[in-house]
Structure 1
């Protein structure tokens, strides 16, 4: 204990030790300030990342909603197309039946009857009767 007092008293009186103590104290203060700035930077980065996560989650939610609505509209259109295809097939069969009746009337009755041709588009609906025209897209095509 006496040696510690001797060292403390000698460092107080010796200018070399006073200078070293002052440098240590300044260095310690600078380190504390640097650590404080580092913590603040990390806290700001964490806040920025939390905001970005929130914005991305909101965007994901909006995109998911749009996908859901688009899927629903697609399903409705597919259902409507199936109904139209069934109706086209039924009407094609009716036209064939009527044409066969006209053939019978022509043969049995001896009448000269003009029997209309069944268009290929009705017999083969997957074949397009005219050239395919490109569909021009616009920016608001998906707005609903």
Structure 2
């Protein structure tokens, strides 16, 4: 009987040690899976960062292109406004000369008045469709 009692604690100890060993193996495997899952999440996030950075670069390039186009169109508009002002002034001067010639000669002339739209270009109607012609800046 004494040997039976001695064997039982040894068996219990052995069973307990086996459970601890299995639990330790299970914990290690669980930790390995957890690390692998975290690494996969990290890799996915790094991939998303790369994709978002590429998207951001593409958007910045589009914004830069649109900004350059805007600056170009704004520059052309400024040139056209200056030309409109110059041509309107010339037309006004020519009309003055025609009025003087009409008074001096006594002949009736049909002198068109300068349209208000030329005097106030911001009131000119704008076209709905974009203008796609090229404009030679050295034309005048």
TM-score by length of 2: 0.81
Partner of 1:47: 43
Shift of 1:48: 0.6
Unaligned runs of 5+ in 1: 1-9, 137-144
Matches within 5 A, 1:44-123: 44-123=40-119
Structure 1 residues 42 and 19: CA distance shift in structure 2, 3 A: same
Q: Hey, what's the Cα distance between the residues in 2 that align with 1:55 and 1:124?
A: 50
* Structure 1 residue 134: Cα displacement: 5.6
- What is the CA–CA distance in structure 1 between the aligned matches of 2:24 and 2:7, rounded to whole Å? 19
Q: Deviations over 1:50-95 (max 9, x none)?
A: 1111111111111111111111111110111111101111110011
2:34 alignment partner, SS class: helix
TM-score by length of 1: 0.79
Between the aligned partners of 1:11 and 1:41, the Cα distance in structure 2 is 44
User: Given the superposition, is the C-alpha separation of residues 29 and 91 from structure 1 closer, same or farther in structure 2, using an over 3 Å criterion?
Assistant: same
Partner Cα separation in structure 2 for residue 11 and residue 63 of structure 1:
77
Alpha-carbon distance change, 47 to 111 in structure 1, aligned in 2, over 3 angstroms: same
CA RMSD of aligned residues (A): 2.0
CA contact 1:106–1:113 (8 Å) conserved in 2: yes
User: By how many angstroms is 1:126 displaced?
Assistant: 1.2
Aligned length: 125
In 1, Cα distance between the equivalents of 2:7 and 2:76? 96
Contact 1:11 1:18 in 2 (8 A): no
